[in-house]
Chains A and B, each alone.
Chain A
């Protein structure tokens, strides 16, 4: 089973 990652977990807020 896989779950969808969130893009904000990879790129930091500017």
Chain B
């Protein structure tokens, strides 16, 4: 028996919004430690890794490990039927071929359940090595989303250059070129407005704007985003989900042809 409850459907809606543009389907691996999903986008350029800890749920029970392959478009249709302040419970029997989403209104007067067929997905799991990154940048998630959106107008790719002084995002194309420089902040009132750079070695890397923009769909989940970079390895874009876990996107860099 598997049962996971969140007192507020908003978080689950936001999580799905953060992955459904990149992935058509995904396998939710459930164990007593929580729920994990790892999947590559169709073109194998990026990888999504979602971790939701069992202690972050309002109720969590998982008697046996189970993997639930879900069509994320179908899941989105179902979650659209939940009000933001509904309690959502995800339920499945052991070895079942369906999963049930139950939504309960605050006053308990409306209870709906939606059963969805599970899929057998033959997804490859990749081992992600522990890496000490040359540069780790923490910045407001809204600011990162804004920069990705702005620079995508000028080029298909953005160059991220990180030094001790700051981080610079650049794009150039037919129209011209754009550069956005962010300096590390000192003495900001609010932690969520801070820009923090931890640098061992400076890095310059090129990434596809399309994917960066897809990752920023996670912005409503977190005030801050963390970018981890080293030369010639995938960028990690991490959004923490308060008290529940995190979503990490890995993006292969563009390389000199």
Q: How large is the interface on A (under 10, 10 to 19, 20 to 34, 35 or more residues)?
A: 10 to 19
Note all chain B residues with C-beta closer than 8 A to A6. Answer: 44-45, 252
Note all chain A residues with C-beta closer than 8 A to B206. Answer: 2
Contact B252 A14 (CB under 8 A): no
Contact B254 A11 (CB under 8 A): no
Contact B253 A5 (CB under 8 A): yes
Q: Interface on chain B toward A: helix, strand, loop, or mixed SS?
A: strand
Q: Interface on chain A toward B: helix, strand, loop, or mixed SS?
A: mixed
Bound state CA distance, A14 and B255, in angstroms? 25
Note all chain A residues with C-beta closer than 8 A to B251. Answer: 7
Contact A8 B126 (CB under 8 A): yes
- Annotate B138-179 by CB proximity to A: 1 below 8 A, 0 otherwise: 000000000000000000010000000000000000000000
Contact A7 B157 (CB under 8 A): no
Contact A7 B125 (CB under 8 A): no
Bound state CA distance, A6 and B234, in angstroms? 9
Bound state CA distance, A9 and B124, in angstroms? 13
Nearest CB on A from B20, distance (A): 19
With A10-B233, A10-B234, A11-B47 in contact, is A5–B252 under 8 Å at CB? yes
Contact B127 A7 (CB under 8 A): no
Name the residue on A nearest B157 (C-beta). Answer: A2
Nearest CB on B from A1, distance (A): 4
With A13-B125, A13-B127, A14-B127 in contact, is A7–B256 under 8 Å at CB? no
Contact A3 B254 (CB under 8 A): yes
Chain B, 28-68, CB within 8 A of any chain A CB: 40, 44-47
Contact A12 B126 (CB under 8 A): yes
Top 9 A-B residue pairs of the complex, sorted by shortest distance between their CB atoms:
A5-B252, A11-B126, A2-B254, A14-B125, A1-B257, A3-B257, A7-B252, A14-B127, A7-B47
- Spell out B's residues near A (CB within 8 Å): 40, 44-47, 124-129, 157, 206, 208, 233-234, 250-257
Sample (29) of A-B pairs whose CB atoms are under 8 Å apart? A1-B256, A2-B157, A2-B206, A2-B254, A2-B255, A2-B257, A4-B45, A4-B208, A4-B254, A5-B45, A6-B44, A6-B45, A6-B252, A7-B40, A7-B44, A7-B250, A7-B251, A8-B40, A8-B44, A8-B124, A8-B126, A9-B252, A11-B47, A11-B126, A11-B129, A11-B250, A12-B126, A12-B127, A14-B127
